[in-house]
Chain A
Amino acid sequence: MATKTELTRRTFLSGAVALGGVAALAGCVTSGSSGGSTKGSGTGAIVFQNSESDPDPKAALTALVKEYNANPVGGKITMNTVATEQFRAQLSTYLTSSNPPDVLSWYAGSVARDYASKGLLLDLSELWEGKGVASKFSTALKQLSSDDKGRQIFMPTDYYWWGVFYFKSNFKKWGVEVPTTWDEFISLCDKLKGQGINPLAQGLSTTPWMASGWFDILDLRVNGAQFHRELLAGKHSFDSPEVKKVMKYYAQLVPYFDPNMGSYAWQDAVTPLVQGKDAMYLAGAFISENVTQNADDLDFFSVPVIDKSIPSAEEAPTDGYFASAHSKNKQSVMDFLTYMASPKQQEEFIQKSKSSNLPTSPDVSTSNFSPLVQKGLKLLNETKEITQFFNRDSSDALQTTADTALVKFLATPKDVDQILADWQTAAKKVWNS
């Protein structure tokens, strides 16, 4: 019947219009594909996927990339910044996609090694040999950047240290001095507590990993870096006598923590430190990003030695870049990484980012750095062993078990034996999965 044929035509027309609209839409909203590289030349433009979203470091990176693009050695760089948590969630998708970002910022550790073992990361060994930009970097850094086969797959560009931060003017006001032994440290805490000040600041609310800071440092002081690395690799158990010994020292600190630490995120806890309600804060040097006024007043000391027979060790998480093995412009990647890891650019990044980061290149002149940073550099140069941080040395999965165990411990230190046993059970699950 006439109506039916009309309908059929109408059906196709409306369908075609819809599809056509969608196709036109696709045309006008699809900007050029990312990268836009010429196949095979190897020197085309590349994409730099960045996870460093903190305001000042991000501004520093943006400036560096802009300078490079003004006079690029290799292809031009397109920089995209994605917040860390989301970056982590997408990292495997980035690396396995058909058009992966060429350079990605991250840190060395189990994650990088895992990706390398699956062939997803570009071999950067040539940058570590001969006249390569990383050829003069320390052996520790080279080891950190290597995969299981001994090839380098990571380019470290900066690192920072962990220390007990305090304000010099506050110490002067309270009439106390920096402790040099553990006993002095404890009696300092007692004295401060007697004056109505919380000796130790801490923030665990949405940042429970801060509790691992003290755990790591105490483990390094009590059992040494070797044991600590093995523990985090699953070779020792969490309810072993050595770990119990660490927890005994940790228990000494519990009465000195700010009682509100469960309600503060790590950053919120800087406020009482600034206000003089709390005295000291074991944190990474990133804390200086929060102290914008009276930056010179901020100082730190290393957690005092507990056992003199243990070789010195400090925590110094290292950040840098790795590259996708499927990048279409490997030469551009090498050129860009050479640029970012060069002494001049490392120095520029550290100054522009206003955070207390240290360069990995030994050729960077440190005389322009702030006294705080120079002190940090001295600390790390004089220490025998360096570890990263709990999650970087082990895995994010193990970190969640540490968060649960340590936050619980800080709330109910008497249950330490049960907590350690539960921690070991949870850790075993992680190792077996």
Chain B
Amino acid sequence: MRRVPPLIWAFLLVPLAMELAFVFWPAINSFYISLTKWNGVGAPEYVGLKNFQNLAADPIFIQALVNNVYWVIGFGGASVVIGMLLALALNKPRRGVGFYRSAIYLPMVFSLTVTGLFWRLLYAPSGSVNGLLGLLGLGDWQKQWLADPSTALTAVLVAAVWRQCGYIMVLYLAGLKGVDPTLEEAAAVDGASRWQRFWRIVMPQLRGVNAVVFAVTVIDSLRTFDIVWAMTQGGPYNSTQLLSTYMYQTAFTTVNLGYGSAIAVVIFLLAIVFIIGYLARASKTED
């Protein structure tokens, strides 16, 4: 057992102290506020678990929860699959690959207000999506994508996935750099199919990246806010409401901070369950 030198303790404790002061202390405050009724002024009024009981009976919260599960699977799944495919396609150095990589990452650079605006226009009744459908002879499929409660959430999801792909692609590009090409070639010589090569040779070497991507995806899925808010603000009548948009609405539009904090606690617990469960298992196998 090596004694840990004091410098190393300092190395750990300075950042940890900062995070405790500016992240955990406010977080604990928020957790406390979730047990109260408060509108930002005066003293919070302690109400115990009442906010959580109200949440359980709140149809909007239930809808947001259901929407968010759909979102985690859809947004998470699609952005990871597409991101990975793009990374596989753009992995090898060749002419133009830098341009393509940059193009796909570009949406991450632009403000979400503008991105939301752009997609609202694409989905507008006379916008490009309907226009394209018309050209393809699928005129029957034209609709008001963002105004129709049955399509709005998926429409926003497409926009969010489109944006997230660049980020995931970058993560996988990096991971693929650490994959040994000789192993793959050897397997090819041995007659392994592309699919087998990918799953048996490449994927295991991506285990580290997969952990990061999983963490990133779960966190981003549960915290998605800006793009939904910019496109629909949770409407039409709560059909695109996600947990963080509902939380924002209760905390800031209606200034019911206790209730909003309760929703935040739910988001936090969901994230903990996913992440800690996965990572604790992963890091055990690594050690």
Q: Chain A residues in contact with chain B, CB under 8 A? A: 4, 7-8, 10-11, 14-15, 18, 85, 88-89, 91-93, 95-96, 114-115, 118, 120, 204-206, 208, 260-265, 268, 395-397, 400, 403-405, 407-408, 411, 429-430, 433
Q: List 26 A-B contacts (CB under 8 A).
A: A7-B6, A8-B6, A88-B252, A89-B251, A92-B41, A93-B40, A95-B41, A118-B41, A205-B146, A205-B235, A206-B230, A208-B233, A208-B236, A261-B147, A262-B144, A262-B236, A263-B120, A263-B123, A396-B254, A397-B255, A403-B235, A407-B235, A408-B237, A411-B149, A433-B37, A433-B256
A430 to chain B, nearest CB (A): 8
Chain B binding surface, main DSSP class: loop
Contact with A along B136-150 (1 / 0, CB 8 A): 000000001111110
Whether the Cβ atoms of B254 and A15 lie closer than 8 Å is no
Specify which chain A residues have a CB less than 8 angstroms from the CB of B251 in the assembled complex. Answer: 89
Q: A407–B5 Cα gap in the complex (Å)?
A: 64
Q: A8–B251 Cα gap in the complex (Å)?
A: 48
- The answer, among A10, A18, A263, A400, for a CB contact under 8 Å with B7, is A10
Specify which chain B residues have a CB less than 8 angstroms from the CB of A4 in the assembled complex. Answer: 5
CB within 8 Å for A7 and B5 given contacts A114-B39, A115-B41, A397-B256: yes
Specify which chain A residues have a CB less than 8 angstroms from the CB of B6 in the assembled complex. Answer: 7-8, 11
Is B53's beta carbon under 8 Å from chain A? no
Other A-B contacts than A89-B252, A204-B235, 8 sampled, CB-CB below 8 A, are A7-B6, A85-B252, A96-B41, A205-B236, A262-B144, A262-B148, A407-B236, A411-B236
Whether the Cβ atoms of B255 and A92 lie closer than 8 Å is yes
By beta carbon, the residue of chain A nearest B47 is A433
Chain A binding surface, main DSSP class: helix
Is B238's beta carbon under 8 Å from chain A? yes
Is B74's beta carbon under 8 Å from chain A? no
Whether the Cβ atoms of A7 and B256 lie closer than 8 Å is no
- The answer, among B54, B149, B232, B253, for a CB contact under 8 Å with A400, is B253
CB within 8 Å for A206 and B252 given contacts A120-B41, A263-B146: no
B260 to chain A, nearest CB (A): 11
By beta carbon, the residue of chain A nearest B238 is A404
Which 8 A-B pairs give the minimum distances between C-beta atoms?
A: A262-B147, A92-B40, A397-B254, A89-B252, A11-B7, A260-B125, A404-B237, A408-B237
CB within 8 Å for A407 and B237 given contacts A92-B255, A205-B120, A396-B254: yes
B46 to chain A, nearest CB (A): 15
Scoring B41, B146, B148, B238 by chain A CB atoms within 10 A of each residue's CB, the highest score goes to B41
Q: A4–B235 Cα gap in the complex (Å)?
A: 63
Q: A422–B125 Cα gap in the complex (Å)?
A: 30
Whether the Cβ atoms of A205 and B249 lie closer than 8 Å is no
Contact with A along B32-43 (1 / 0, CB 8 A): 000001011110
Scoring B7, B37, B145 by chain A CB atoms within 10 A of each residue's CB, the highest score goes to B7
Specify which chain A residues have a CB less than 8 angstroms from the CB of B120 in the assembled complex. Answer: 205-206, 263, 265
Complex interface residues of chain B between 120 and 175 (CB less than 8 A to chain A): 120, 123-125, 144-149
A257 to chain B, nearest CB (A): 12
Specify which chain A residues have a CB less than 8 angstroms from the CB of B253 in the assembled complex. Answer: 88, 396-397, 400
